[in-house]
Amino acid sequence: MPHNPIRVVVGPANYFSHPGSLNHLHDFFTDEQLSRVVWIYGERAIAAAQTKLPPAFELPGQSIFCFAVIAAKAMYNNWRLSPVTIAAW
């Protein structure tokens, strides 16, 4: 079997989880990238972050999902959930 030097890593290229991280979105992502983000949130988290979200969050056609709904559907359908990630592509 040939050796492949490319290492595949599953997950977001940039992941930040600390107080104040939403204040630095534009340090890492352009407006164009933020317009194509998949947003996955919890109810309390989105309520707390509402004033800090970028304008791109309100754009028509955004992919915005509540984790509680995803988890409920997964439990109903006996899906196996992977860790939640939010990434721009």
Kindly report the pTM of this predicted structure. Answer: 0.54
CB contact at 8 A, 62 and 39: yes
What percent of the chain stands above pLDDT 90?
0
Higher pLDDT, residue 8 or 33: 33
Query: What pLDDT score does 8 carry?
Result: 59
- Domain assignment present for residue 34? The answer is yes
Number of domains in the chain: 1
Q: Average pLDDT of 13-35?
A: 79
Distance, CA of 28 to CA of 22 (rounded, Å): 11
Distance, CA of 65 to CA of 51 (rounded, Å): 18
Cα 72 from chain centroid? 18
Query: What pLDDT score does 71 carry?
Result: 60
- Domain assignment present for residue 45? The answer is yes
Show the 3-state SS of 17-81: CCCCHHHHHHHHCCHHHHCCCEEEECHHHHHHHHHHCCHHHHCCCCEEEEHHHHHHHHHHHCCCC
- Domain assignment present for residue 87? The answer is no
- Domain assignment present for residue 70? The answer is yes
pLDDT category, 24, cuts 50, 70, 90? Answer: confident
**pLDDT per residue as tens digits for the range 34-58:** 888 778 787 888 888 888 888 888 8
